Each structure stands twice: as C-alpha cells, then as structure tokens.
Structure 1
C-alpha cells in the first residue's frame, strides 16, 4: 500500500522495535530466527485523509538458513479519518531447502480512490472524454469494498532455480459508488459505469475468481532487499464463470527483475532493473480488475503517481533504480535515485500500447533496521507529469 507516512515516526520505530529468537542456531521442524518489526503507522494522502494503525513486517526461516531462503511478511492494519479500513497481508514463504514457495496476497478494504478513465492519456482534471461523448474523463471519485484472496504454491524442479505451480485468485468488489465534487454539475456518465455496462457487468458489485499457472525463477540472494542476481515470474490466470467469475476471461502477467552489483566491497551499491507487464488475453474483466498502476502485489509500481492513476486492458511498466550506502563503513543509512515509465492500451478509447508513456523519477532514503535480514524502511518522493507527485513509505525495497 502506498501512503505518505510521517518520517519522524518511521525513524522512531526503527530503533530496535524487533522481536527475535534468543538463538540463531538451526532448529529442525521449527521457525528459525523469527524477527518482527511492529511498525506504528501514521500518515496522510488525498484519497484516505489521515491514517493510523500498524504496518508490521516479519522475516524468518522455515529450514536451515544455510540451505533455505528467508521468508517474509508485510502487513497493513489501518483506519483513516474518512472512515476507511485497510487490512492487507502479503507474503513469500520458502519451505525447508527451498523445495516449495508459497505466495500470498490477502486484502480487505473499505476504502475509496479516484479513477481517471482508461489509457495513458487521461487528464488530471475532470472533463468530457473526446473519444467517448457523454462520459467523464479525468478524476472521478469511487467508494468501494474489496475482498482479495490470492494464494499460490510452487514446487522446485530438481535442484534448479525454477519453480512450477498453481494458485487460486479471488477478487470481490462491492458497494461501489461513483461521485464527483459538488461544484461539478455536468450530467456525464462515469467511466467505470459506462465500461461495466458496455461489457455486461454490474456497476455496484462484481466477482473475479480463477486459477493460475505459475512459473518462477528465484535466483536473488535475498528476496527482501536483493543485492545481486535476478528473479522472473510468468503467471497465466484463467477466470472461468463456473468458478464464480461474472464472465470468463484470462490474463497474463510477466515480471522480471535484475540486480547489477557495482562494488564487491559494498554490495549495497547496485543498479536494480524491473520490467512488468499485465495483459488481458481473452474475454472480459470488470473495470477494477483491469491492469492498473500500483496494483501489483506489493503496490510498488508507479512511484510519482497515485494507485489506480492509469488503467487499461494492457500495461507495460519499467523502472531503473540506483541504490547506494550513505555511510563509509556502516550500512544503516542508504539512498536511492529512480526513474520509471508506464504505458497503457485500451480498446475502449482506441489507445494503443506504447502510443504514450507516463514517466516518473525521484529519490529516497533507506534505514536498515536489521542488517542480518536486511529489513529496511524506505521513504521515497516521486515526481511525474502534469503535477503528479507523491511521498511513499514502505517496508523493504520497492522491488
């Protein structure tokens, strides 16, 4: 979840709010070296107002640390001054000797956020869509509830870095309400409602339920804050109506990350590269299930833009980030400089993928609160086009 947190509380919470086991020796059939960071959270953003709650993270080993990668969990338990509740749990769990990976993404939102229509050319200010007469283009407010349950299990192929597996994915959007500011009096149809009506979906509630086929190459030295090597994920999601989807459809996700170390002595000095694609392959999906900015698993894409700022039937995203230490002999503080760009295609607005890109750039501060596991608090400020910008605070690196 992207949100602007108060940096002072961030630094305060980083002062050893860590619960860990008394021993760092391997104990068979037990969770080893469990470390919890119960980070208190307070902040604000235009969509939510002020937020209060907890943003805990945890790392541990499900086997011998010499032969098993570190598992991790990131959560959000927040309440806002706009009477919104935001609960989420995202996890990557490596079982003993990395023979099995469990990937989880569970969420329950009672929330709101603006939507702007489909494609890469949507403006900030609301106006009539020139490609869709009678339909709003630009900022349109939405209230909704979301129940999400994603869980995938993957088995390693022999002694390789390759994993194959399957997953189940459920999204239920309900109590959807579109509205504009009171000052706007034009009687135009909301982009969300027009799209859903044209595609045969309800405008107030819809369900996407399906299974996925997954292939993962896990070659990173550390999944929380990698210093080197790479990661790849290919997921083909099938959403048949007999599993509860309002209409049958399929989507393809492609995710690749590469980490180039710039110094053998200071491995924290590196360049990180990320390429991400999400495509509607067949059928139709409801508006909020279309590929969107900031709706990747950990909500890290598109720093400089709000979650959901761009959306379409197809999405391509790329990012490059230089990560570096700020201390000569210590690893506590680090910095980052990043650039990114995204393109969205939409048949609805006749906009082709790669026809337009929306770039972003920015810089950030890193505070490593556990050097052994590389648990890191990240604070970034991003700048985009047309006055878009934002402050983002997260646990661990962005990707």
Structure 2
C-alpha cells in the first residue's frame, strides 16, 4: 500500500511539475507562479513509522524572480502506523524585492515518542541509575503526548544587503503527557521525564513555553529548498517569561549556519554542503520536552541514523557534511548523496558537559527531482548511528 501511494504522489507531483516548468513571467501586483494541490502522500522515519495522508508543497514568487527569493510552503496531514496524528504547516515567505521574510512553523501532534534520558551518554537499553538517592529509569521509555506549536517570525531586510532583522513569537503547549515502559518494572522508579520535571519544578502532565525572540538572518542561498551555492545563517535569542504564559522564566540561543560549495560550475548538482547547528539554554529552566533534542529542528532533519528525540539535553551542538551528486550524465532526475553527522548534548542531572561525548551518524541517499525549475525533490535516505541505531527517512526536499 505504501509503495502504491508513493507512486501516486510521484505521478501527480511530476504532472504538476511539467505544467510549471515554463519560464516565470513577472506580473506586477500578482503572486507569481503560485499553485498548491493536496496530494496523497507517504513518508517514513524511525520515530513515527510509516506516515500516510495528504501533503501539499508549493513554491512561488511574491515579486520579480530577479530580485525576490522563491517562497515555499509545506503542509502535512498524516496518520502513522504508530497511531499518531501529524498536522503541520511550515513556510518561508519572501515579499516583493525581499523586503520582508516571514518564517512559520505551526504544528498539532497527537503522538508518541521514546525518550532515553538526558545527555549524549543515555543508554539504548532500559535500566535504572541512582540520581540523588532516587532510582531513575534510563534507556528507552515511551511517552504519549499532544503538542500545539505556533512559531511565527517576521524579519525586515537591512537596506539592500543579504541580512534581515526581526521579532518572533513562539508557543509550545504540551498536554496529556504519559510516561510508561513497554516492559514490566518490578521496583519503584522515576521515569526520566517525570524526575527531571519534578526536580526543576514543572508539572509532569502538561506545561507551556511561550516567548518572544530577536532574530538575525543572512539569506544568501539561490533556492532555499535545494541550494546549489552560497550560504545561510541565523541567530535567534528567545526569552520565555512567565507573564506570557510560560510555566517558568527562561532564555535560549539558537545558532544555525549552512554553506554550499559548488564543485563543478558546468554541473552544479555536484555540491558539498556543510551544516553547523547549536541550541543552548542560557538562563532559567525548560520542561523536559522543550529541551534541545535531536531531530526537533524546524524540518526535523538533524540526526539521520537515530530516531527523533534519541538524545536530549540543556545544550546541543550538531554538525553535518553531505556530498550531493547527479546519477545521470546530462539529466537531473536522479541524484545521490552520502553524509556524516555528529551530535553532543549536556545534562545538568548527572553533570555531563557539552562535548564530553559525541554521537556520530552516517548514511547514503537517493534523490528524485520532480520539478527541475523549483528543484522540488523526493529524498530517500538510510542512516546508521552507534550501538545498532539506524533508520530509513523518506521526505520531500533536501535535508538542509
């Protein structure tokens, strides 16, 4: 069934792509080359399993293509083989002449996910460790929860430069949280989530983080969904005060830098891509599920080789290198990739510092470019991590 739905999706996307491959002609006071069509969709990752439902992806121009970056939107309404509902809308919109940049990340999840404790040294197998004279479970524990997320950032271009400055609002509401183990436990233990939240004064069944951010962005990529050249950078300082609804005051810092090196000017699909990403708790405390975690970046692409949320902590440092290449001499339909990544996390509870331990990953992937003009691409990757961790990842557009 999954293969059939994927084939339907590819067929319909390809049909739309062929209809849109003509050169874009700019018409003032109109949104140029915009079309959006809900399509049957299938995706996969280790945390959610197979996902089936409706997806819509669109790219368009809000102004003259010569002076305006391409805007893009991805919407998903999915049900998974792990009985989860995944509803999300993620957008990156550039107004005419790139004067404004609007970045949106909206989600509603009824979902579940394993957690393993905090830090890069958290084990895979279920066990307990005594922390502060309390036996605390470490290793794979299950969590059910709902998540309502509303992130929206508005940035203004600085003169005619590649830089933007702006403000954002960020809301996360976790509810109906339940921790459990899938194996019988014969002794009283605290689950990692519950112990952490009780230690730092948070509820264990529901909590809210609400804050505003000051943001700086450098947007220098040619096409954001699948860049061939140049670079991108973002810095975001967020404060989460209790008067905006947060359970506790806190502040965080996010750093994101990506660089794309063209290796062959005559065949720009030969690319070496590099990604450096860091997310840090600066002050106060965050509830467990709002701590920095692998695979919880905006598009959920970090940490191929591990399940989403496999590592979590107050501080996170991540890097990835990827070589992308065509598989055909003169066409761009099929491509491939090889990648390596590394992640490190800290943990206040056991004193683990950032970079005390690094967890690497690596893998290979196949690319199918279904719209050459907009570079819309189906991506299929298989990643390997340490200690037997691995996973298959089926998505749309490049990982970063």
> What is the TM-score of this pair, normalised by structure 1?
0.95
Aligned to 1:34: 34
Residues 355 and 131 (structure 1 numbering): CA distance in 2 closer, same or farther, change over 3 Å? farther
Aligned to 2:230: 229
Alignment partner of 1:129: what SS? strand
Alignment partner of 1:277: what SS? strand
Aligned to 1:390: 391
| Distance in 1, Cα, partners of 2:191 & 2:83 | 24
Aligned to 1:180: 181
Report the alpha carbon displacement of residue 43 of structure 1 after superposing the two structures with TM. 5.3
Q: Are residues 1:129 and 2:137 paired?
A: no
Residues 23 and 363 (structure 1 numbering): CA distance in 2 closer, same or farther, change over 3 Å? closer
Deviations 1:345-387 (A, max 9, x none): 1111210100100000000000000001111111100000011
| Distance in 2, Cα, partners of 1:17 & 1:183 | 52
Aligned to 2:167: 166
Q: Residue 305 of structure 2 contacts residue 384 of structure 2 at CA under 8 Å; is this kept in 1?
A: yes
| Distance in 2, Cα, partners of 1:190 & 1:134 | 9
Q: Are residues 1:62 and 2:58 paired?
A: no
| Distance in 2, Cα, partners of 1:337 & 1:68 | 31
Q: Count residues in correspondence.
A: 395
Between 56-65 and 113-122, report the one with greater CA deviation: 56-65
| Distance in 2, Cα, partners of 1:308 & 1:246 | 22
Q: Residue 333 of structure 1 contacts residue 368 of structure 1 at CA under 8 Å; is this kept in 2?
A: yes
Aligned to 2:241: 240
| Distance in 2, Cα, partners of 1:303 & 1:131 | 31
Q: Are residues 1:272 and 2:270 paired?
A: no
| Distance in 2, Cα, partners of 1:137 & 1:245 | 27
Among 16, 19, 39, the alignment partner of 1:18 is 16
| Distance in 2, Cα, partners of 1:344 & 1:312 | 5
Report the alpha carbon displacement of residue 41 of structure 1 after superposing the two structures with TM. 2.4
Q: Residue 39 of structure 1 contacts residue 57 of structure 1 at CA under 8 Å; is this kept in 2?
A: no
Q: Residue 122 of structure 2 contacts residue 138 of structure 2 at CA under 8 Å; is this kept in 1?
A: yes
Alignment partner of 1:25: what SS? coil
Gaps of 5+ in 1: none
Q: Residue 169 of structure 2 contacts residue 212 of structure 2 at CA under 8 Å; is this kept in 1?
A: yes
Alignment partner of 2:279: what SS? strand
Report the alpha carbon displacement of residue 35 of structure 1 after superposing the two structures with TM. 4.1
Aligned to 2:73: 73
Report the alpha carbon displacement of residue 55 of structure 1 after superposing the two structures with TM. 2.6
Aligned to 1:326: 327
Residues 42 and 124 (structure 1 numbering): CA distance in 2 closer, same or farther, change over 3 Å? same
| Distance in 2, Cα, partners of 1:131 & 1:360 | 29
Aligned to 1:155: 156
Q: Are residues 1:208 and 2:204 paired?
A: no
> What is the TM-score of this pair, normalised by structure 2?
0.95
Alignment partner of 2:387: what SS? helix
Alignment partner of 2:383: what SS? strand
Q: Residue 115 of structure 1 contacts residue 140 of structure 1 at CA under 8 Å; is this kept in 2?
A: yes
Q: Residue 119 of structure 2 contacts residue 312 of structure 2 at CA under 8 Å; is this kept in 1?
A: yes
Aligned to 1:95: 95
| Distance in 1, Cα, partners of 2:113 & 2:163 | 38
Cα RMSD, aligned residues only: 1.8
Gaps of 5+ in 2: none
Report the alpha carbon displacement of residue 217 of structure 1 after superposing the two structures with TM. 0.4
Aligned to 2:336: 335
Aligned to 2:348: 347
